[in-house]
Amino acid sequence: MKSLLLRLLLAGDYVSGEAISEQLHVSRTAVWKQINALKEQGYMIQSTTNKGYKLLQAPDTVKAHDIEARVQTKTFGKEVIAYESVSSTQPKAHQAATNGSQEGTLIVANEQTEGRGRLGREWVVEKGQSISMSLILRPTIPLTRAPQLTLVAAVAVARAIEKVAPLECEIKWPNDLMVNGKKLVGILTEMAADPDQLHYVIVGMGINCHQGNNDFHHEVKDVATSIYAESKQKINRSTLIAEVMNEFEWLYESYVDDGFQAIKTLWEARAISLQQRVIARTPKGTISGFACGITDEGQLRLREENGQEHLIYSADIELDTTS
């Protein structure tokens, strides 16, 4: 009920208590109680005789109804499981998926104390500073195509950020969004599957939002950034999460129906690690060469000086400035 009420208020105009009770099929007393609950959360709601209620200001909270009220989707973000603090949203998403949560279910946390990125790296989120979320997907695609969802997610998050902040995001293969050479977003894709069947995919997304330049740990302060650090603007996190869901859903549907080729051009338009010399640090060793592009499967095509070409599935990429 709270998400439906908030959706009415987010429309921007006055809405009468009578109209709310009729649309939500509840009593005027129930409406009044929910309005007060939103006020206690931090929503500034004006009440005017003969006009009703009007939303004046929204808090930067990431509760389930904050997000569900803002999404404009069929399934993505329609069901939100929100936590104040978790060790990581990824295992929570795996648990929810195992228990049968539908595709599009979103797990989000205001604080993440033991999050991890690709290759097991730590991704810790201070309370109220960033977005930590994991999305459950159940695509009917071959196992070999699942890693491409990282690239689809990167395009979706980049487009969403640019809707709420005056920034231009670039993508560093395979899973980082960069602004002015610093990391703004990390994406981690995991899946559960049998040898011949994909059960579900979890797409974890971490977005730095409100940190100042001095808020980052000394180990990453020179390579990490946030929306606020780059734009000097504070965005509403639930609004951004909703925009990510809006963008991700249509891109995902296009990908499932038409393959990665439908998304590849959008991804390549933002890529910063292509058509130049790079160093790729893979689990099997380090390779230096020319990044020719990506395949239709999302693999990085890396050509060494001797002409040998490698298809890279997973690696840390940095520009080779030695030549």
Q: Same structural domain for residues 71 and 39? A: no
Please state the φ and ψ torsions of residue 22, each to the nearest 5 degrees. -70, -45
Q: Same structural domain for residues 153 and 260? A: yes
Residue 294 and residue 173 in contact, taking contact as beta carbons nearer than 8 Å: yes
Q: Same structural domain for residues 213 and 288? A: no
- 183 has binding-site annotation: yes
What CATH number does the domain containing 309 carry? 2.30.30.100
Maximum Cα–Cα distance for the chain, whole Å?
A: 79
CB-CB neighbours of 281 under 10 Å: 13
Structural domain that includes position 25: 2-57
Q: Same structural domain for residues 233 and 248? A: yes
Task: Name the least confident of 165-169, 235-239, 304-308.
Answer: 304-308
Q: Same structural domain for residues 40 and 78? A: no
Burial 263-280 (b: 16+ CB within 10 A, else e): bbebbeebbbbbeebbbb
- 117 has binding-site annotation: yes
- 118 has binding-site annotation: yes
Q: Same structural domain for residues 216 and 112? A: yes
- 23 has binding-site annotation: no
Please indicate whether residue 156 or residue 215 has the higher confidence score (pLDDT): 156
pTM summary value: 0.92
C-alpha distances in angstroms, 175 versus 3, 64, 267?
Answer: 32, 26, 11
74-89 pLDDT, tens digit each: 999 999 999 999 999 9
CB-CB neighbours of 61 under 10 Å: 18
Q: Same structural domain for residues 117 and 163? A: yes
- 303 has binding-site annotation: no
Mean pLDDT of 30-59: 96
101-116 pLDDT, tens digit each: 999 999 999 999 876 5
Q: Does the pLDDT at position 262 exceed 70?
A: yes
Please indicate whether residue 2 or residue 282 has the higher confidence score (pLDDT): 2
- Strands 300-303, 176-179: pairing kind: unpaired
Contacts of 117 (CB under 8 A, 6+ apart): 123, 186, 188, 206
